[in-house]
Amino acid sequence: MAQATFEEISAADFFYRNRDIAGFTNPSRAIFAAVRELVENSLDAAESLKILPNIYVRLSYEGEASKETQIYKLRVEDNGIGIPPRHIPSAFGQVLFGSKYKLKQQRGTFGLGGKMAVLYGQITTHQPAYITSSTAAMSKIYMYKLMIDIQRNRPLILDRKVLINKEQWRGTIVEFCLEGDYLRAMPKLLDYFKQTAMVNPYANLTFVDPKGRLYKFTRITEEMPNPPTETKPHPYGVDVELLQRLIQITPHKNMLDFLKSHFLRVGEVTAQKFLESSNVSPSRNPKRLSHEEIVRLMHMLKRYKEFLPPDASCLSPLGEELLKAGMMKELKPEFVAVHQHKPATYAGHPFIVEVGIAYGGEIPKRGSFLVYRFANRIPLLYDEASDVTVRVITAMNWRRYKVSPDMPIAILTHICSTKVPYKTVGKEFIGDRPEVRREIANGLREVARQIQHFMSKREHVDRERKRLGVFSKYLPKIAQFSTKLAGKEKLPDIEKLLVSVKKYGAEETED
Amino acid sequence: MAQKKQKTSISERKKEVLASLEGFGTSIYDQLDLGHFPSTVMPSRSTENIHYDQQLRQFILGERKVRRSARNIRHLRPFTQLTWAALFSNELASQRKTSTLRDVYYSAQAYEMTFKDQQESNNIITDLETILGFSREDFNIFPEERSAIFGNLTIEYTVPGYEGRTMNLTSHPDGVMIGPALTSAEFVKTTADKVIAIEKGGLFTRFIEENVHNKYNALLVLTAGQAPRATRHFIRRLSSELNLPVYIFTDGDPWGMHIAMVIISGSANAAHLRELNTPDAKWSGVWATDIVNYKLPTDPLDEVDMKRLYELQKDPRYKEDPLWQREIKTFMKIRKKAEQEAFSRYGLTYIVDEYLPAKLEETK
């Protein structure tokens, strides 16, 4: 009889063994994922205090690792809020430790990103990571040299320095080595920066690649969206686990107060009505609920029709102005239309869809639309064909809007939510949920109407120009031929006729 | 012996043509000069506007007019092409140069006036004919020549380099091509008292060899199938200026019959033009009744032939003379056709010695 062995593994160990989940699938994806996670942390760190982000990323070549892969040193600097010194080791040396476990619109959600990158670096190069940070309040800068104890999921502090912060510097610098394949990663990485710049037009992004090439994305506006706020869960979005946690931490001793204070859009009246309809006594102590009762409560919460939908005040969409500015800046099109749709919800999670469409200018003609997808202001670069946006675009009748795929057109969708409905753990595409699909479709129809209007106007102007062109091509010839034919010397004056054509043309749309 | 009738018929007509072209140019120039969009009006050539005129015995255009205006963007290009075509014709006519429809198509390119295709430039020339009432041959634009004439007629050239030179049309045994130089020539004198038009080259040559022009005192014209417009106009001049009766010999089938008809009554395509038909000309054979009477070797009429007969039966031109309806019915009854060469079964000279005099007498 075989002996089964059971052992507990740490979170760090788990992700070490399953690094695919976090996007570190292969050497080129790993580079991309590491840069991306750190840049997004940096953006979040700046935005949470409404600081205009300045982010500097440098990737430098350190040596060969194997035939196809190299060792690179990655350095990411930001001017964000900084990390309090006592949290620095855990923030980068302990997987699943972080500030991101609240219900709030955020770029990452696993609390994995930065740590996973550091962990991956350590696994592939066996070198420590260097973290430097200072918060606005502090007069000192703290530098840590760290490794992760994978089995125990604990940071190992190898060195710690404290410097005087004379220049009042604020921000975080992360530097570590990792194995990767930059040449393969390059196209995606550059796409990533360009698209990040598109939806963060208020950020300065600088990237220096291993060949020393400098890519600079400069902010064009100092306007920033309001930072997202924390929110309570909506009754439709709860599960048993969440209920149990809330019951554990609640100071309230009866169901009425419990519901009122821990759930979104539940007030005195709503709570009473709900308890009445589900046959739960308002005075019942939530801590005394049995497991079966908690399961029942969850079902009742999901089934009750009278809860108001979650409000979207906690969300931080980009806004039409910024979206437009970002698209103008990175795509340099001839025309842009943007639209922010009113908030909607799916399964108790509020979300807002923003869409944009751009035409002409520097947008290339490819025979299909260029599609840019974003979720909580991060670009989604993989699995485009599976994304709900692409499905909606494919299903739309674009000809109605005088638009065809062979035109130089870029379409952008941005969905922001406290919980983005990703289809997979890889967080690369949005699932085809009917609520989301409907919002995207409505948004696209709105901008499609705007581009249709633009196209019609352009067509009209084109037709006018063509019309004038025809007159100014042929009238002089008629004058020339008839003068010769009539045996006259002087050409008749046709200027007046040409001028009159202009007026005539402006009134008549169709001849 | 007929003397030349209108000494100046050719030069008069040339003057008229030039004046008319210049007038067209002046009209456009004046409209432009007054600050108006130039326009021109012409009879519509659509089928609803083509009628058969019993008196003229040809198709004519009805009352309906169309206006071409430079104000209308869709007319602008054709209007410019039309003005150019008038200028080009004027240059041809005044410099006494000739040209073809193909030439017109290519010449336009020198003026940055391109035509989409040959058809477009042909249409513009037809427009010009319709507006001015002259045929393109008057503008010195000729089709490819293929028809010919032989017989005792002396002509006097008017083309540059040959002015005043005369020639007798018996001088070449193959006949003389009816081209620009001949159609613009004045008639000086003739001993002939009739014109015989023949559809096919083989028979035309046979007639010359058999001395038909002398035996029957005739001018022989080869139409080479459907007669070109220049040839039809030339036959009309032979008829009207020299006062000669015209007899037409074609194959004995609906198509041959129609070759004769177009010489006599013109075509719908040329409804905008006059003086291309010879109303008094006669179709002398080969008739359907000849096929029966002369027991000619035949071919059966096929479906296309039959269809053509039904069309012709309804054609107003075929209702003029009972002869036509009789022949159409006969064709339909016997469902047979015969070529002119079919007479060879009675010997090579039979057609000249027996058939021809009989038919000339019959259709006198």
Instruction: Check residue B6 and give its pLDDT.
Output: 46
Domain A235-303, second-level architecture:
Orthogonal Bundle (1.10)
B330 and B272, same structural domain?
yes
A101 near B CB under 8 A: no
pLDDT at A169 over 80: yes
Contact call for residues B29 and B271 (beta carbons, < 8 A): no
Residue B3 lies in a domain: no
Q: Phi and psi dihedrals of A50, rounded to 5? A: 55, 40
Q: Assess whether the previous peptide bond of A199 is cis (omega < 30° from 0).
A: no
B4 is a domain residue:
no
- Range(s) of the domain holding residue B342: 148-362
Fold of the domain spanning A320-454: Ribosomal Protein S5; domain 2 (3.30.230)
Q: Do B32 and A492 touch (CB under 8 A)?
A: yes
Which residues does chain A have within 8 Å of residue B81's beta carbon, measured at their own beta carbons?
Answer: none
Of B24, B33, B77, the CB nearest to A474: B77
Look up residue A405 and give its amino acid.
P
Whether ipTM exceeds 0.85: no
Q: What is the pLDDT of residue B2?
A: 38
Give B267-283 pLDDT, tens digit per residue: 888 888 888 999 999 99
For residue A322, what pLDDT is reported?
Answer: 93
Q: Does the annotation mark B294 as catalytic?
A: no
Residue ending a domain, among B142, B170, B195, is B142
CATH code where residue B246 lies: 3.40.1360.10
**B158 and B94 in one domain?**
no
| pLDDT, mean over chain A | 87
pLDDT tens readout for residues B137-193: 888 888 777 899 999 999 999 888 998 999 999 999 999 999 889 988 999 999 999
Per-residue pLDDT of A428-487, as tens digits, reads 888 888 889 999 999 999 999 999 999 999 888 888 888 888 899 999 999 999 999 999
Instruction: Assign residue B109 the CATH number of its domain.
Output: 1.10.10.10
Lowest-confidence region among A101-110, A298-307, A441-450, A470-479: A101-110
- Whether residue A484 and residue B87 make contact (CB cut-off 8 A), yes or no, is yes
Q: Sorting pLDDT into bands at 50, 70 and 90, what band is A425?
A: low
Are B182 and B134 found together in one domain? no
Cβ atoms within 10 Å of B255's Cβ, excluding its own: 16
CATH placement of domain A11-217: 3.30.565.10
Q: Which of B29, B37, B77 sits opposite A486 (nearest CB)?
A: B29
pLDDT-derived band of residue B11, with 50, 70 and 90 as boundaries? confident
Residues B26 and B42 in one domain: yes
In chain B, how many domains are there? 2
Do B97 and B40 have their domain in common? yes
Q: Note whether B176 and B286 are same-domain residues.
A: yes
DSSP string, A294-329: HHHHHHHHHH-S-SPPPPSTT-----HHHHHHHHHH
- Radius of gyration for the alpha carbons in chain B, expressed in angstroms and rounded: 22
The answer as to whether B116 is a domain residue is yes
Is position B64 within any domain?
yes
Which residue reads 């634009």 in tokens?
B141
Check whether residue B169 and residue B58 sit in a common domain.
no
Q: For chain A, where do the domains classified as CATH 3.30.230.10 start and end?
A: 320-454
Pick the residue of A468, A477, A482 with the most B CBs within 10 A to test the interface with B by mutation.
A482
Question: Does position A1 have pLDDT exceeding 80, yes or no?
Answer: no
pLDDT tens per residue across span A280-289 = 889 999 988 8
Region of residue B39 (phi > 0: left; psi between -120 and 50: alpha; otherwise: beta): beta
The verdict on B113 and B217 lying in the same domain is no
| pLDDT, tens only, B191-234 | 999 999 999 999 999 999 999 999 999 999 999 999 988 899 99
> A478–B28: do the CB atoms touch at under 8 Å?
yes
Does residue A96 carry a pLDDT above 60?
no
Percent of the residues in chain B that have a pLDDT greater than 90, as a whole number = 65
Handedness of CA B326, B331, B333, B339 (dihedral sign): positive
CB contact under 8 A, A494 and B90: no
* B53 and B152 together in one domain: no
Is residue B1 one of the residues assigned to a domain? Answer: no
Of the residues B81, B108, B142, which one is the last residue of a structural domain?
B142
In angstroms, rounded to a whole number, what is the distance separating the alpha carbons of residues B311 and B308? Answer: 5
Token pair of B350, please? Answer: 């039979």
Q: Are residues B181 and B295 in the same domain?
A: yes
Task: Answer whether residue B2 is part of any domain.
Answer: no
| pLDDT tier for residue A500 given thresholds of 50, 70 and 90 | confident
Contact A474 B24 (CB under 8 A): no
- DSSP notation for A61-112: EEEE-SSS-EEEEEEEEE-S----GGGHHHHHHSTT-SS--SSS--S-SSS-
Domain with CATH 1.10.8.50 in chain A: 235-303
**Quick one: what percent of chain A has pLDDT higher than 70?**
92
Among B142, B159, B183, the domain boundary falls at B142
A222 CB within 8 Å of a chain B CB: no
Examine the domain organization and report whether B42 and B181 are in the same domain: no
Predicted local confidence at residue A101, as pLDDT: 40
- Buried residues in A126-165 as b, exposed as e (16+ CB within 10 A): ebbbbbbbbbeebeebbbbebbbebeebebeeeeeeeeee
Residues B119 and B243 in one domain: no
**Residues of A with Cβ-Cβ distance to B113 under 8 angstroms:** 477
A495-506 average pLDDT score: 72
